[in-house]
Amino acid sequence: MLSLPPKSVTANNLTAYSSTFFVLTFSNGSPGFLPVSFATKIDFATATSPNILAVRDLDNDGTPDMVVATNYNDYPSGNGFKVSVFRNTGSPGIINFERIDLPLPSIASFDIADLNGDGKLDLVAAIGGTVYILKNSSSGGAISFAQNSLSAGPDVRSRIAISDVDGDGKPDLVLSGYGFGLTEHPRFGVLQNSSTPQTISFASAKLFGYAYGFTFDDITMADLDGDKRPDYVSANSASSTYRNISVIGGFAFQSQPIVGGGS
């Protein structure tokens, strides 16, 4: 069984997401996957110690591309701290990719979504207090991005998730933090998408949550209670899940987490 991200539909520069995941079931009968179900593995060179991966169709040619990031400092080779796009150049029966390194520094996290509703998937990367916005400008089989950045707070050791938190059709940025300032408790921030089809932009972060002295580690947004609003889910050693009670144009989360964390 393969689970893919929620399906989305974009029209008039607005995007709607399914509230459940798209699931493929292996249909080759019993007994399912066996070693002979796969051909010999094929390796593609990345920067040293890749640790973040996403697979999406970035150039809209119908075949999935890969984004691979490493935040490993491979000193002195200089082969660490890279974010690379692997453009799918395969054909039926042949798997192949062309690697393109993006001009980004070390990042903590990235996510992919169509932020301005132009039908092209954009990329957002984050580290520290900086969020890098990469607007997809690909055309004609070449993958390219126009890059800018925004400050999301003084101390955002960021995990990032893109999700339409308020249901207005524009996917918003959700960032985890380890305190949005020296006197703040660890929180997560939600940045309202104010993009136009031409320009990607976000309002400043609105802060929620409280991690009881622990950082929020990896995060995701998923509609856990079936009310069509994606809820905030994180893994850490204290508290982890906050129920989304937003309305269009107004972000809100229940003040108490609904799932306790580990220890």
Give residues in contact with Ca ion (CB under 5 A).
114, 116, 118, 120, 122, 136, 164, 166, 168, 170, 172, 223, 225, 227, 229, 231
CB of 252 to Ca ion, least distance (A): 12
CB of 223 to Ca ion, least distance (A): 4
Give the integer Cα–Cα distance in Å for 241 and 238: 10
CB of 200 to Ca ion, least distance (A): 7
Q: Which positions ≥6 away from 29 have C-beta within 8 Å?
A: none
- Nearer to Ca ion by Cβ, of 111 and 166: the residue is 166
- Nearer to Ca ion by Cβ, of 59 and 114: the residue is 114
Only one residue has tokens 């207090």, namely 129
- Nearer to Ca ion by Cβ, of 59 and 164: the residue is 164
- Nearer to Ca ion by Cβ, of 136 and 158: the residue is 136
CB of 114 to Ca ion, least distance (A): 4
Cα dihedral across residues 4, 6, 9, 10: positive or negative: negative
- DSSP-assigned beta bridge partners for residue 52: 69
CB of 26 to Ca ion, least distance (A): 30
- Nearer to Ca ion by Cβ, of 35 and 249: the residue is 249
Only one residue has tokens 């689970």, namely 3
- Nearer to Ca ion by Cβ, of 55 and 245: the residue is 245
Rounded to 5°, the CA angle 92-93-96 comes to 85
- Nearer to Ca ion by Cβ, of 202 and 216: the residue is 202
CB of 115 to Ca ion, least distance (A): 6
Give the integer Cα–Cα distance in Å for 220 and 234: 6
Q: ω before 105 within 30° of 0 (cis)?
A: no
Give the integer Cα–Cα distance in Å for 128 and 105: 11
CB of 68 to Ca ion, least distance (A): 21
Give the integer Cα–Cα distance in Å for 223 and 230: 4
> Cα torsion at 28, 34, 35, 40 (round to 10°)?
10
Rounded to 5°, the CA angle 53-59-65 comes to 25
Radius of gyration of the chain (CA): 19
